[in-house]
Amino acid sequence: MASNSRGRGPASSRLRNRGSAKVAWLAFVVAAVAVLVLAVLYASVLEHRREGQLVTAPRKPVGEYESDNAKWGENFPREYASYKLMSDDETATKYGGAHPRDYLEETPDLVILFAGYGFAKEFRQARGHTYTIEDVTQTKRVGDKTGAATCWTCKSPDVPRLMAEMGPEAFYASKFGELEKEITHPIGCLDCHEANTMKLHISRPALREAFERQGRDIDDVSHQEMRTLVCAQCHVEYYFKGKGKYLTFPWDKGMAVENMEDYYQEYDFADWTHAISKARMIKMQHPDYEIYMTGVHAFQNVACADCHMPYRTEGGAKFTDHHLQSPLLNIANSCAVCHRWSEQEVHTRVQGIQDKVREGRDRAEDAVSKAHFDIAACMQIGADDAALKHVRQLVTQSQIRWDYVAANNGMGFHSPQECMRILMASVDLAQQARIECAKILAKNGFTGEVQYPDYSDKDTAQALIKRFIAGDPPDLLGATRTAAAR
Ligand code: HEC
Ligand code: HEC
Ligand code: HEC
Ligand code: HEC
């Protein structure tokens, strides 16, 4: 055989070699599969053992509505210790972190965009959950104790007890100051967990009701979905419906910004009248869940908790990290579990995405701010409400879109394409408004340049807004006013 084969030359020896190579490959594949199967088995055994360790029955059971996080903490010291790390409010990433960044100082355009509304007075980056009571009672926006108690809904584990006692309707219809004595604990265990069983649960009615109106049963979702839905109780767009200020999620027509816009139009709902353009405006809150749902991670079933509450190991025990924060401050435990990228690569990738969204935001902020001033210029030349109806609608539509992206946390990371799509629409609508305004001004004999006032820093912008509110705005037509328009 050997000589024959030699006689037949290199071609056949290659063939024969191929034959033995085939056997070698087969052996290799069989071995590889066996190793893989063993590894998977081992990992799942390990996983089960770990999961067994994860949920432990409490040694000292707590009451059904126990809101004191420290009491729960006696049973679960690791989770509680990591929870308490949220008191660090000095961390910072380029666009996030827990420090109370002053958004108005960073982006004075916001003062213009929110003119006449609380967010133009004070608007800071969110801190960790342990600060909710302090922040809601101290913000200048809720300074008035006669405001709605509905604001409390997303701030404390005292809320489920009060709602059980009073009923949600009476809770929402109360005044903020009336409930202040009862609500003392910052967001904590009861907000996400059922007492003692430690099952994840939905503790707030608004999310449950929004699901019901969509014909979905929230008790029928997977465990993995619950790891997102506990967050969706609060990290969503919402409004206070009607006189009773009933907390409602505007999802009946869908969760895209256009669906919410349709929804609000149907209810003829507005949050405030803009101090510069007199357009009726809607403030978006923080549609984190809605935007996340359009992204690749939601599509791949990666939950909020996978990135913001990754597993940690301490002294051989695995547990869920309850220090909710920017995952960029904890890349090794969050992203790196799935992505084999270096920390530097993760940073570069995330910031690259965020820088692009920020650029889109900047363009929208500039265009929408100028549109408000263009409408004010039309008012100064004498255009009446009927003539301005359409341009006001356009500016409202463009600002809702910008705000849907801007108010959402994470600077677009959760769904970059959706954010850019919406920002493009925002810029387009704002520029349409500006073109219409130019036509209105021209019809009234003005063909010069609108004189945009200085709003390049927070103080200047706030002083400017005060003049509009006092009915003493600067002359926006200025020196270039034509003779006809004078
Ligand atoms: C794939 C991982 C991932 C998932 C899933 C995820 N996030 Fe994020 N989230 C991030 C990243 C990255 C940032 C940007 C952090 C930064 O800029 O420092 C972020 C930012 C945030 C922030 C602002 C934090 C800060 O310090 O600025 C909040 C709040 C937030 N996410 C909530 C959510 C919610 C709620 C969900 C689920 C509906 C969710 N995230 C799903 C990765 C994720
Ligand atoms: C914002 C929601 C949220 C809050 C608030 C919260 N948890 Fe959790 N907790 C989770 C999630 C999500 C998991 C993971 C559950 C899972 O996947 O089964 C978890 C898991 C746990 C577990 C199971 C073991 C483990 O570590 O995975 C314990 C015990 C626990 N939490 C205790 C607490 C305690 C004590 C507090 C209050 C100090 C608290 N949790 C507050 C969301 C929360
Ligand atoms: C009961 C309402 C509520 C629930 C439930 C909730 N949050 Fe929050 N979250 C808030 C509020 C309110 C703030 C702002 C706190 C402040 O600034 O005082 C916040 C702030 C945050 C921050 C900013 C902290 C930082 O360091 O930047 C992150 C991240 C966050 N939440 C993620 C989540 C995730 C993920 C979940 C679900 C596992 C969740 N939250 C569940 C209400 C909630
Ligand atoms: C539980 C697993 C998991 C975790 C944790 C996770 N990712 Fe992902 N990530 C995925 C999957 C799956 C995809 C989709 C890949 C695909 O379909 O090709 C993805 C996609 C991405 C993409 C590409 C997005 C796009 O549109 O192409 C980026 C960027 C990314 N992840 C960043 C992160 C960052 C940053 C973190 C941590 C904050 C993180 N991921 C955490 C599983 C994860």
pLDDT tens-digit series, residues 205-238: 999 999 999 999 999 999 999 999 999 999 999 9
Question: Which residues are CB-contacts of 294 (< 8 A; sequence separation ≥ 6)?
Answer: 256, 415, 417, 418
The pLDDT, as a whole number, for residue 55 is: 58
Residue 99 in contact with ligand 1 by CB distance below 6 A: no
Q: Ligand 1, residues 409, 411, 418: which to mutate, most atoms within 8 A of Cβ?
A: 409
Q: Scanning the structure block, which residue is given the tokens 């929408």?
A: 368
User: Residue with the nearest Cα to atom 24 of ligand 1?
Assistant: 326
User: Residue with the nearest Cα to atom 25 of ligand 1?
Assistant: 96
Residue 79 in contact with ligand 2 by CB distance below 6 A: yes
Q: Cα torsion at 9, 15, 17, 22 (round to 10°)?
A: 180
The pLDDT, as a whole number, for residue 54 is: 59
Is 426:368 a contact under the CB 8 Å cutoff?
yes
pLDDT bracket for residue 31 (50, 70, 90):
confident
pLDDT by residue (tens digit) across 101-110? 999 999 999 9
Please check the confidence at residue 44 and state whether its pLDDT lies above 60.
Answer: no
* Position in ligand 3 atom list of the atom nearest CA 192: 5
| Ligand sitting nearest the alpha carbon of 134 | 3
Using CB atoms within 10 Å of the CB of residue 78, give its burial: 0 to 12 exposed, 13 to 18 middle, 19+ buried.
middle
Residue 255 in contact with ligand 1 by CB distance below 6 A: no
Q: Cα torsion at 401, 406, 412, 418 (round to 10°)?
A: 0
pLDDT by residue (tens digit) across 322-357? 999 999 999 999 999 999 999 999 999 999 999 999
Q: Give the Cα separation of 446 and 484 in Å (integer).
A: 7
User: Residue with the nearest Cα to atom 24 of ligand 3?
Assistant: 128
Q: Ligand 2, residues 203, 322, 334: which to mutate, most atoms within 8 A of Cβ?
A: 322
CA distances from 50 to 41, 237, 320 (A): 14, 36, 11
* Position in ligand 3 atom list of the atom nearest CA 324: 29
Is 334:307 a contact under the CB 8 Å cutoff?
yes
Question: Average pLDDT, stretch 371-396?
Answer: 98
The pLDDT, as a whole number, for residue 380 is: 97
Please check the confidence at residue 465 and state whether its pLDDT lies above 70.
Answer: yes
Please check the confidence at residue 63 and state whether its pLDDT lies above 80.
Answer: yes
Question: Average pLDDT, stretch 406-434?
Answer: 98
pLDDT bracket for residue 2 (50, 70, 90):
very low
The pLDDT, as a whole number, for residue 401 is: 98
Residue 411 in contact with ligand 3 by CB distance below 6 A: no
What value, to the nearest 5°, has the Cα angle with vertex 419 and ends 117 and 397? 45
pLDDT by residue (tens digit) across 304-329? 999 999 999 998 999 999 999 999 99
Residue 235 in contact with ligand 2 by CB distance below 6 A: no
Residue 357 in contact with ligand 1 by CB distance below 6 A: no
Closest CA to 482 of 442, 452, 455: 442
User: Average per-residue pLDDT in the chain?
Assistant: 91
* CA of 339 relative to ligand 4 center, distance in Å: 7
* CA of 154 relative to ligand 3 center, distance in Å: 9
